[in-house]
Amino acid sequence: MKSSFFEVFLRRPIMTLMLNLAIIVFGYISLQRLPVRELPDADPTTVTVLTVYPGASAEVVESEITERLEEAVSSAASIKQIISESREQTSLITIDFITGTNEDVAAQE
50 and 103 belong to one structural domain: yes
50 and 71 belong to one structural domain: yes
Q: What digits encode the pLDDT tens for the residues 27-38?
A: 999 988 887 776
What is the per-residue pLDDT for 26? Answer: 97
56 and 94 belong to one structural domain: yes
54 and 19 belong to one structural domain: no
58 and 9 belong to one structural domain: no
Q: Give a yes or no: residue 51 inside a domain.
A: yes
Please give the mean pLDDT across all residues of the chain.
86
Residue 9 neighbours by CB under 8 Å, 6+ apart: 15, 16
Q: What is the CATH number of the domain that holds 89?
A: 3.30.70.1430
Q: Give a yes or no: residue 39 inside a domain.
A: no
Using DSSP, state whether 77 is helix, strand or coil.
Answer: coil
95 and 61 belong to one structural domain: yes
pLDDT for residue 78 is more than 80:
yes
Number of domains in the chain: 2
Distance between CA 58 and CA 21 in Å, rounded?
Answer: 61
